[in-house]
Chains A and B, each alone.
Chain A
Amino acid sequence: MVRSKFLASLIFSLVIIALSVAWMPVPDASAADPNTFNRLMKPPSKRNPPPTQDGIHDPGSIGTQGLQTPREAFKPLPQGQSGNYVDWVKAFDAKKIQPRFDSKDPKAKPVIMDLTIVRQVKGSMPDVIFPHKQHTEWLDCSNCHPVPFVPQKGANQMSMASIMLGESCGVCHGKVAFPVADCRRCHTEAKGKATKTSAKAAAKPAVSKKK
């Protein structure tokens, strides 16, 4: 019973894969040099393209032509390694940008919370340090608590796989905040440096998972 169900769903997925491969656009071999230097990676010259060339804006619309080009806006900002290729944390700290905290009042000031949480990581990767400071500079507590994180050290299950699928830290990282490619911005603390409290915290998830 279970087995046939499994087979049926397996076949279903395989059929979908076959269909989607068949539907995938076939590259036009005659159109371009097959041996371009970067075959899969987007070369630096193609980063932050103007709206008229970015593939989603309609180049024929007057509106599109009136929009700002990211490159122009990013010129005065510190460079990042991926995403927008802007280091938004440095840009903010150096006051190169002064994003409003309130839509109307340019002087409204946020409440910043400086609490860091160490998450011990399985395997060779350095531990993850989650800083509340940089997050509360941009976000409200309600953006993270209680969804996607219960506000209790170690009470949340996290893994790289779920982050890549857009859960946990991946709700923002990989969509708007710096992407997963910047491993070392999250995996910052060398193994073994973590304090005793965080070791306890790492042992907790098994208990709270039942909920």
Chain B
Amino acid sequence: MALTLCKRIMVLGLTIVSLVLLTQNVSHAEYGDVVMNKYSDDSGIRPVVFPHWFHRIRFRCKVCHADLGFKFKAGGNDINMLKIIDGEYCGACHNGDIAWSVENCDLCHSAKPKTPTQVHESTLQKLIRPAGAPK
């Protein structure tokens, strides 16, 4: 019993290591920058970069992650432009009242095309490569 658990953990470990190897994308972006690319590439627009550092200087986590309902999961919120112009998610602030409004497409859609959805410099990204070593 203990042995099979051990084996399972081993296989799980190996799979995680290999997934990390497969998905690693070398960059040295700011810690906590989230790239969102669930729909952007498919719609022919640059993916979105959300800078945590910039927003946490102005708002507590609670404003977005409790009041506005952003789940703690990159790509886990199914955000699209219709929701944004209706005042949900980014649109709760980027409405020309609290922050500049949605017509500034390029300020949000600023990532290199094809950049996958992810949180930058996270521990998981760094497990096999210390501190986002330069390529």
Interface residues of chain A, those whose CB is within 8 Å of chain B, are 2, 6, 9-10, 13-14, 16-17, 19-21, 23-25, 27, 38-43, 46, 48-49, 51, 54-58, 61-64, 66-68, 70, 73-74, 83-84, 86, 88, 97, 99-104, 110, 137-140, 142-143, 164-166, 170-172, 174-176, 179-180
Question: A16 contacts which of B15, B24, B57, B68 (Cβ < 8 Å)?
Answer: B15
- B30 pairs with A70, CB closer than 8 A: yes
Question: B110 contacts which of A16, A19, A57 (Cβ < 8 Å)?
Answer: A57
Interface residues of chain B, those whose CB is within 8 Å of chain A, are 4, 7, 10-11, 14-19, 21-22, 24, 26-33, 35, 46, 49, 51-54, 56-63, 65-68, 72, 92-93, 98, 104-113, 115, 119-124, 127, 129-135
State how many angstroms separate the Cβ of B3 from the closest Cβ of chain A: 10
How many A-B residue contacts, CB cutoff 8 Å?
195
CB-based nearest A residue for B115: A56
CB-based nearest A residue for B19: A16
- A63 pairs with B109, CB closer than 8 A: yes
- B67 pairs with A102, CB closer than 8 A: yes
User: 9 tightest CB-CB pairs across the interface, nearest first?
Assistant: A63-B106, A55-B27, A174-B123, A140-B66, A20-B21, A13-B14, A16-B18, A140-B62, A20-B22
A sample of 10 cross-chain residue pairs with beta-carbon separation below 8 angstroms, ordered by A number, consists of A19-B22, A20-B21, A55-B29, A56-B111, A58-B46, A63-B109, A99-B60, A139-B62, A140-B65, A176-B31
